[in-house]
Amino acid sequence: MKQLSNADIAAKVRKAMKDEASAINYLADFFDGDQIAEVAKTIANCQGRIFTSACGTSGVTAKKIAHTMSCIEVPASFLSPADAVHGGLGRVKKGDIMIFISKGAKTGELIPMLQACKTKGVTVITTTENPEGELAKESDFVVPMNINYEADPFNMLATSSTLSAMSIWDAIAITLIEMTEYTREQFKVIHPGGAVGERLLAGKK
């Protein structure tokens, strides 16, 4: 194992954090404003349910997105690709929204789900770095998550891209709070647990 001083280790940790922060700043200036606005309006006006789906590290991101949406009472849940193609797609109906997260927009496990969603009249939104991938081309909306580089030395590990995908969907969720006129009182009802629940119930900011 390579021997590094505490100062060297700390410097490398700081560099990785700053690299990821740089990727988010880059993304904030990259996406199309009108396009992201239409995505937010589509979600705000959805009369059905919202599903997220992805594989690997992107799957973790998709689960987080679904949870954040649920926290502002935009009903969302994660649908495992493995379960989806073995009958789980029966949960998805016309009028619902499916959000795919796929760096290359060609994740094999998601393609059959895409085709089923199109057949069933489900609105498909794909977050990807590749607008030419099959998922992107067949989607109703594409949310680009182009980054300048990953934070690892190989520029391959899902680091900056994962954080960027979470960041843009966090930003959409925060915007939806105002669009749907979601209130602190509503949040208090569904989040009585933990430190956040204590603050809400005590009326603290």
**What pLDDT, on a 0 to 100 scale, did the predictor assign at position 174?**
94
At position 63, the amino acid (one-letter code) is: K
**What pLDDT, on a 0 to 100 scale, did the predictor assign at position 197?**
57
pLDDT profile of the chain (205 residues), mean per 10: 93 94 87 91 96 95 95 93 95 97 92 96 95 94 85 86 92 94 77 64 62
- Cα 22 to Cα 138: distance, rounded to the nearest angstrom: 30
Structural domains of the chain in order of their starting residue, each with its CATH number:
6-182 (3.40.50.10490)
Q: Determine how many CB atoms are found less than 10 A away from the CB of residue 135.
A: 24
**What pLDDT, on a 0 to 100 scale, did the predictor assign at position 157?**
85
SS3 sequence of 45-110: CCCCCEEEECCHHHHHHHHHHHHHHHHCCCCEEECCHHHHCCCHHHHCCCCCEEEEECCCCCCCCC
- Whole-prediction pTM: 0.88
Nearest Cα neighbor of 113 from 161, 70, 143, 80 is: 80
Q: Determine how many CB atoms are found less than 10 A away from the CB of residue 199.
A: 13
**What pLDDT, on a 0 to 100 scale, did the predictor assign at position 170?**
95
Strand (E) or helix (H) holding 189: helix 184-190
Half-sphere exposure of residue 134: CA atoms within 13 angstroms, side-chain side: 11
Strand (E) or helix (H) holding 28: helix 6-28
